[in-house]
Amino acid sequence: MPDNHEIADTSAVGALDAPLPRKTMSINMGPSHPASHGTVRFNIELDGENIVKLDPEIGFLHRGFEKSCENVTWQQCLPYTDRLNYVSALCNNFGFLTAIEKLAGIEIPERAKYIRTIGAEIHRLCDHLTCVGAMGMELGGFAPFLYAVEARELLWDRIAELTGARVTTSFGRIGGVERDLPEGWVQKVEDTLVKVEEFRHEIDELLTHNRIFIDRTRGTGVLSAEDAVDFGFTGPMLRASGVDYDVRKAHPYWVYDRVQFRVPLGTTGDNFDRYYMRMAEMEESISILRQCFAQMQPGPHIVDDWRFVLPPKPQVYSTIEGVIGHFKLIMEGVKIPKGECYSFTESPNGELGWYLVSDGSGRPYKVHCRAPGIQMVGALEHMVKGSLLPDLIPTFDAINMIGGEVEQ
Amino acid sequence: MSEFALQRVAERFPDAVVQGYAYRGDETLVIQREHLVEVARFCKDDPELDLKLPLSVTCVDFIDEKPRFELVYTLYSITKKHHLRLKVRVGEDDPTVPSTISVWRGMDWWERYCWDMYGIRFSDRGPMKRLWMYEEFEGHPLRKDFPLRGRQPLIPEADIQDIYRGPGPGPGSPPASRSNPPRPSQLPIVK
């Protein structure tokens, strides 16, 4: 709890004035507050309505992700990664697997690359919809949230058809993806995208030209490009400040070098730009999805290498090699060569980095998840210091803090 | 990552660099603890390196080796599009590293993370504060000698009989027992 300080009264004291001693006031906002999604406690010190000091206290959702991963096999870490950013689980799944594949030196099949891109882009749409919807809701407009959730639900239904689960997907495998696209799924997604575009347009109409929304977001939480880089921002938050860094463009992975898309850039680095980055990126994601569907060719969806991938079930049930391969992978885990690597992909909120250390056994020696949100929440005090207390809400919303990945 | 960045730092600070190597295309420099801040400042300010984006700091606990801890700094340059990894090794008896907040402000919460999870102290900054765990928590959970189920609840927890999952105990670990592993210390339970 911060101490309260006396505030020196700077206004001139006239002969007839009776100046009152003023003190700052401490306020606890959260851990569970209706105007902030995510469980985080703010220790705020206020001078009147202006924020003097802000100390975000996180960790309410800490589940020991890294410790758990160090005690299970490489494949068993995968369900834990779903629970990092639970709005866009596939981005985490595939990012983690890409890191393992870099460490093990596996090249995945073309079709798996396309399926990964498709899954990650669908979940990018879901994440951005959640962010703009919740932002609108917490600034007083409930309707955009309903549109966003309805669109997200449609996309999650498609994800459920693909992976079997709406939220906790666990879909990827080391060396590819678990199964191929279902029959008729592509057409269904294309139809869904038309609906999502309509919902996106609806949210755009409701928020982008809304006077209240603009007043709350324009010019609040401003961060210059130099500061944004210095604080380690990535993703839409960094691009809103006008810094052109998108992992998909700078270091293309999967099939991002084969699809055409633009990276929207902001100019002022305020909350409105951060909101609009997401609206613009949704359009690009939809375009990427359509290009992927047009380019995809049939082929294997996982590598045929029994050192990393479970043998097909008919061979497990009928041949001794299959049984042994299956048994060793399940009981000992995938043997990843001894070494270390840093691998990174663009998750909806920024760069999702993995620093992995393997000691050559079936279990990770160290799994470090560089969640994009940590440094952004760490810079929250810098962004809102001196501004009004209500400016904290849109700034915190624009960060889109997901407790699962920030608190791991 | 960049071979060039590796050579440039090694040429500039021949005394500070202990080792430089690349694995899977990731260039890594092991540097001495005393020179960390000046190397970091050079990495950031040098126009050829321009490593202005601080991506993360983490720590690896090599419990059987000396020195025991290895701090890993991941840096990136947006203009030059290259990464560089800096490593500092510190022993268990004095796990103190100079803070790099004065170079990159974004390192603040990662340093708190290293303190919280590994007990690495950072000098030249304010008092260390935990990031995720609560202040009453004892020990540093990601150290390899911290038990997996070393829970320290502030309010009593319902007893869970069987929570062990996965294919048995890990290599080299003691046999799994069904009783709770001992806590680092028995905390008074707040009622």
Max CA separation in chain B (angstroms): 60
Domain boundary among A57, A79, A100: A57
Contact list in A for residue B30 (CB cut-off 8 A) is none
CB distance from B55 to chain A under 8 Å? Answer: yes
Residues A79, A81, A83: CA angle, nearest 5 degrees: 85
Q: Please give chain A's pLDDT, 408 residues, in tens.
A: 556 776 665 566 677 777 776 788 888 887 888 777 778 888 898 888 889 888 888 888 888 899 888 888 898 889 999 888 888 899 999 999 999 999 888 889 999 999 999 999 999 999 999 999 988 888 888 888 999 999 999 999 999 999 988 888 888 889 888 888 888 999 999 999 999 999 999 999 888 888 989 988 888 888 899 999 999 899 899 999 989 899 998 899 989 999 999 999 989 888 999 999 999 999 999 999 999 999 988 989 888 888 888 898 898 999 998 899 899 888 888 888 888 899 999 999 989 999 999 888 888 999 999 999 899 888 888 888 888 988 888 898 888 888 788 888
The range of the structural domain enclosing residue A35 comes to: 6-57
Domain count, chain B: 1
Contact list in A for residue B106 (CB cut-off 8 A) is 230-233, 375, 378-379
DSSP H or E segment with residue A136:
helix A110-138
C-alpha torsion sign, points A176, A181, A182, A183? negative
Task: Give the distance from residue A191's alpha carbon to the nearest chain B alpha carbon, in angstroms.
Answer: 38
What is the predicted pLDDT for the residue at B129? Answer: 87
DSSP H or E segment with residue B30:
strand B26-31
B146 within domain boundaries? no
A43 against B8, higher pLDDT: A43
Based on the fold, state whether residues A44 and A89 are members of the same structural domain. no
The token pair that represents B20 in the structure block:
């430089």
Residues 6+ apart with CB under 8 A from B63: B143, B144, B145
Based on the fold, state whether residues A32 and A133 are members of the same structural domain. no
Question: Least CA distance to B143: which residue of chain A?
Answer: A67
Based on the fold, state whether residues A169 and A53 are members of the same structural domain. no
**Using the beta-carbon criterion (under 8 Å), do A378 and B58 form an inter-chain contact?**
no
Query: By mean pLDDT, which of B33-47, B65-79, B155-169 is the weakest?
Result: B155-169
Q: How far apart are CA A220 and CA A322, in angstroms?
A: 60
B190 within domain boundaries? no
Looking at residue A36, the DSSP 8-state letter turns out to be: B
**Using the beta-carbon criterion (under 8 Å), do B108 and A353 form an inter-chain contact?**
no
The token pair that represents A92 in the structure block:
């985490």
Return the percentage of chain A with pLDDT > 70, whole number.
96
Based on the fold, state whether residues A12 and A130 are members of the same structural domain. no
A356 within domain boundaries? yes
B17 within domain boundaries? yes
**Using the beta-carbon criterion (under 8 Å), do B23 and A341 form an inter-chain contact?**
yes
What is the predicted pLDDT for the residue at B2? Answer: 62
What is the predicted pLDDT for the residue at B72? Answer: 92
Question: Least CA distance to A376: which residue of chain B?
Answer: B106
Based on the fold, state whether residues A51 and A70 are members of the same structural domain. no
The token pair that represents A223 in the structure block:
């961060």
CB distance from B167 to chain A under 8 Å? Answer: yes
Q: How many CA atoms lie within 13 A of A156 on its CB side?
A: 19
Cβ–Cβ pairs < 8 A, chains A and B: 113
CB distance from B127 to chain A under 8 Å? Answer: no
Using the structure block, give the residue that is written with the tokens 């321009």. B50
Domain count, chain A: 2
The range of the structural domain enclosing residue B43 comes to: 3-123
What is the rounded average pLDDT of the residues B83-112? Answer: 89
Nearest CB partner across the interface for B167, out of A73, A234, A368:
A73
A1 within domain boundaries? no
B37 within domain boundaries? yes
pLDDT at B171 over 50: no
User: Of all residues in chain A, what percent are helix, strand and coil, respectively (each to 5)?
Assistant: 50, 15, 40
Contact list in B for residue A365 (CB cut-off 8 A) is 60
- Look up the pTM and report it: 0.86
**Using the beta-carbon criterion (under 8 Å), do A232 and B54 form an inter-chain contact?**
yes
Residue B65: CATH number of its domain: 3.30.460.80
Contact list in B for residue A380 (CB cut-off 8 A) is none
Query: By mean pLDDT, which of A32-41, B4-13, B31-40, B151-160 is the weakest?
Result: B151-160
In single-letter form, the type of residue at position A252 comes to P
B176 within domain boundaries? no
pLDDT at B186 over 70: no
Residue A379: CATH number of its domain: 1.10.645.10
Q: How far apart are CA B70 and CA B36, in angstroms?
A: 13
Task: Give the distance from residue B11's alpha carbon to the nearest chain A alpha carbon, in angstroms.
Answer: 24
